Chain A
Amino acid sequence: MKSFDLAEPATIEEAVALLDPEDKSVRAIAGGTALMLMMKTRLFQPTRLVSLRRLNGDLRGLRVNQDGGLRIGAMTSLAQLEYSHLVASTYPVLSRALGTLSNIRIRNVATLGGHLAHGDPHMDLPPILMTLGAKVSAVSPRGRRWVDICDLFTGYYETSLIKDELITSVEIAGQPPGVYCWYEKFTARSADDWPTVGVAVRYIVDSGVIRDPRVAVSAATERPMRSAAAEAALTNAPLAPHVLSKAADAAADELEPIADLHGTASYKREMVRVHVRRALEKAAQWRR
């Protein structure tokens, strides 16, 4: 690694002013777990890093919103979320997934903001947040805008954030009582590895019929994506094995998997089929 200018601003205004919308070698650093790997392998050589560690306010803390959902500061560590009783009672699906995300030292340091801003398609939380419904607050010198989580990921390691925008917090929607949620993480090498395929699902069942289903897949495609075809196959259909299989087939047919270290494209397509079905089944067994 090479040295760089390291700024440690105390306010969000100073922080965004230190970023540069034109210069790719200037970036924010939160926990640094993803950036350090890129810097060590020289995939990224910064001229300046703007550390967010001295920032407070909006970037910290966890609270319940009016709709019963949670507002989470971007600098909240993944371990803080893992050990939060509020998260466990509001979104058990998130707590369970956090326990399988990397190892505890990484979760101690990695932040929710960095997790989302990195745009790595293998991350575990984006598909879950895409099914729960969430929006991120993005602040720049021009003010604040809200970005729907489903519009955040635009490509392989690409997001819709402008280079001088910072995520300050994330708001996750409140869920109706009795919602069914599950995240199925499939790792092909070791249990604590990055996923080969990650599948998040969320749906409601009303008089035996599936309503408002959401299915999101990560790690298989160039960015985490919802499967409109799977969701259409589930909508207003009975909660029955053949319906879940049909939805899984629809997702496998619709999505375009890409190969990586964790599997070839055709393998991933089959794994999408298998794990969409499993996620839908397990959601029904687990309830919330």
Chain B
Amino acid sequence: MEQNHRRTIRFKLNGRTAITEIATHETLLEVLRRDFSLFGGRESCGQGLCGCCTAIVDGIAVSGCLYLAAFVDGAEVTTVEGLASGGKLHSIQESFIANCGFQCGFCTPGFILMTKELLERHPQPTTDEIRHYLSGNLCRCAAYPDIVRAVKAAAGEHNR
């Protein structure tokens, strides 16, 4: 492999400085899993459709499966593992547990991260807004009614 096909990237990952060496074609999702053992993001469709690979880059949600790892050089990245603080889960995580917003849990990290962005953009979302915003997240277990309930409860919490 040619020299300029590899590079070192430095970024903030869940609040801490992260440095790793990558190849130019590698996706953010691959690198998070391989180099940082962050397995919350999963590759499912690999085409931007399902949201299982969601990560937050500089405050916006992206599909990690379609995002070049090289592009997070200098950025701030948050994964589901970075939401809890001081041993306490984030209120959105609590809300998904309290409302059973999942069955197998495969899609849950993506839904939780998307909910975080949803509540930043629409602090008091209507049911339609929730459904529309999360329409790019697929749940094979079809836990959708419970997910919407969990998001509504989290919005209440968020606004307190």
- Which among A36, A53, A83, A104 is the interface contact of B66 at CB below 8 angstroms? A36
Contact with B along A188-213 (1 / 0, CB 8 A): 00011000000000000000000000
Give CA–CA (A41, B62) in the complex, Å: 20
For residue B150, CB closer than 8 A to chain A, the reply is no
Chain A residues with CB under 8 Å of B1's CB are 3
Q: Are A2 and B51 within 8 A (Cβ)?
A: no
Give CA–CA (A99, B129) in the complex, Å: 11
Give CA–CA (A37, B63) in the complex, Å: 12
For residue B136, CB closer than 8 A to chain A, the reply is yes
Shortest distance between the CB of A72 and any CB in chain B (Å) = 18
Q: Could you tell me which B residues sit within 8 Å of A by CB distance?
A: 1-2, 4-7, 23-27, 46-49, 51, 54, 60-63, 66-68, 70-71, 114, 117, 121, 132-133, 135-137
Secondary structure call for the A interface? mixed
Given A2-B25, A105-B51: A51 and B71 interface contact (C-beta under 8 Å): yes
For residue A267, CB closer than 8 A to chain B, the reply is no
Shortest distance between the CB of A122 and any CB in chain B (Å) = 15
Give CA–CA (A104, B48) in the complex, Å: 10
Q: Which of A28-67 contact B (CB under 8 A)?
A: 29, 32-33, 36-37, 39-40, 49, 51, 53
Q: Are A108 and B62 within 8 A (Cβ)?
A: yes
Shortest distance between the CB of A59 and any CB in chain B (Å) = 16
The residue in B68, B133, B136 that gathers the most chain A C-beta atoms within 10 A of its C-beta is B68
- Which among A4, A103, A104, A191 is the interface contact of B5 at CB below 8 angstroms? A4
Q: Are B132 and A102 within 8 A (Cβ)?
A: no
Secondary structure call for the B interface? mixed
A1 to chain B: closest residue by CB: B25
Given A3-B6, A109-B62, 12 more A-B residue pairs with CB atoms under 8 Å apart are A6-B70, A32-B68, A36-B67, A36-B68, A83-B121, A99-B132, A104-B133, A105-B51, A105-B62, A106-B63, A108-B61, A109-B66
The residue in B5, B63, B66 that gathers the most chain A C-beta atoms within 10 A of its C-beta is B66
B7 to chain A: closest residue by CB: A6
Q: Are A105 and B25 within 8 A (Cβ)?
A: no
For residue A79, CB closer than 8 A to chain B, the reply is yes
For residue A5, CB closer than 8 A to chain B, the reply is yes
Chain A residues with CB under 8 Å of B47's CB are 37, 40
A193 to chain B: closest residue by CB: B49
Q: Are B60 and A108 within 8 A (Cβ)?
A: yes
Shortest distance between the CB of A184 and any CB in chain B (Å) = 18
Give CA–CA (A162, B95) in the complex, Å: 52
Q: Are A105 and B54 within 8 A (Cβ)?
A: yes
Chain B residues with CB under 8 Å of A36's CB are 27, 66-68
Q: Are A37 and B136 within 8 A (Cβ)?
A: no
Chain A residues with CB under 8 Å of B67's CB are 32, 36, 109
Q: Are B61 and A104 within 8 A (Cβ)?
A: yes
